[in-house]
A and B are shown apart, each in its own frame.
Chain A
């Protein structure tokens, strides 16, 4: 019997070995795969176990964290949620993150290795440093001016500092409160459904993600292209353009909204927004020249990040002459984000050099010590410095004595360009009112701000008047705020 007891012992030892081998398989070999399984709630629980770092505007947090006592514990709160929603985005237990919340997520959530001097320490203790902060380039006053200007309208504002590329304001209207998406449960799901089915599309970031036909504001690009290409050497010289202008190769006549465009010079054409003249100039520059100029300003560029990605602005590269003529005045397939048009104004204001726009100035640890600085990068030269100077003069003329008088600010040099963009099938939609501009305080060496404003449902439908009526006052308020904040 002794022998059989021993065999039983061996059998039990075998069972033990099988158990040990299997737990080693589960806990070491399969561990990573189990951890990565989307049904495993542990990563989410860990992620929300501590308060999230904050997003700062003017050094003050516009976000907060609330202990919900739920499984996914700390929920995001927003001070002035709708105002900053296009900047912060949302941080939701249910729907993830967007915009700065997404772009700077590692820092805010405390997983960025830069948050700790000794990352190994946190590996050993299985802890996590407190979430860091992301300080934005946005200025509260500028943002508020843009937001108030758009109140009740559909549209967007993008404002940048021309010399650096800092984004001073990013507003989309109507907006929403991202706090409605914080947390879990049916309330959040209902809000998400409501926001996604709302015909006003409040969650759409119109400043970065919506492209509009830029209309007459694109004439700045066409004019700069003509000067750089030498097609126009004297801005005051008559261009011998008929009114209306027959589109090359067709019988279609291109009209002007106003009068006095017959045979006008390029300076007058910009000042009074003559479609005929600028279309003809665009055709003279040629497809290749126009495409190259537009691309120098940032059109057709994929992967622009601020650090959230920005929709691609389009200027077709394969067009007939009549299509090119329409594209030169910002119609046909030409489309631009408000940020793109702010970049056009900024390039003119900055002497031709185009700075890459950016939204996050620096990220810091919880205690304020730096993690990373936002980088000022150049996107290259959009035009010659001499061309830029000429363009500045032309744009100033628009505001002083042209279609954009509503943007003028006493004590500041302001350059601008109105736009009214036809859209819809057969141009049936209510036109978009555009205004792009820049402003420099008198005596200041550098322009403080470049702005693009688009208002979708501009009531007035009379050529470039609507840009001046609906969009220019908003641009002025934004520029005033930027000038006074200096």
Chain B
């Protein structure tokens, strides 16, 4: 036998894989957004959620809209990126930043911080508050980036559902906050708005970790819960980007369940607090392993 002409019909699951692959290719060819190196299981899940929310019935119909309906790109990107965040999520991490990282940052006359994948900005404001309370904010410059334009817009506004405020206040205190979180926002109806003074030293910018390059020299890079969505090679590219952005001795802070075990470029970093995924660049001598 030669050729696949008489191959048995595909199982539905295999068919779905083909549709997903075509969707990802269309997104790249038509719009230049490359999701081909995202971790497949959760990407597929979000594509199927788009099918549901858009009521298209099949992934192929999504692909058609992607090709023929320019306005659909924004909807697709919003569905595929996951701008889910919290203020002071994992309070221990923020406490460790304050206690273990800030004392080192304090020695720099100007402190550059890159927060990659900032989503709706909850961590940006958390960080600004923390810096403010440590007396470092006036010297700080935070670059908050994401590849989702909608999310960046949302981040800039700093408006969130009031029902989250209670949990965030608890986290803020657990992170070692010295005031009351309510001092930093005004509440109205069902919403809270973060004090826009916290944005004095924040630049929000579009940056795509898949395609864009180094744009600043950073003393601290925060990139939490973004690499979990990337395949091994893309995780490695991104870590190399962080390495190239950081000053020698600069810090990298990842999500508390993110693993560097499968990343070759992780050898450039040594752990400051392994459990909380806080690392430092190049504390070992190059060449000595």
Do A and B pair up? The answer is: no
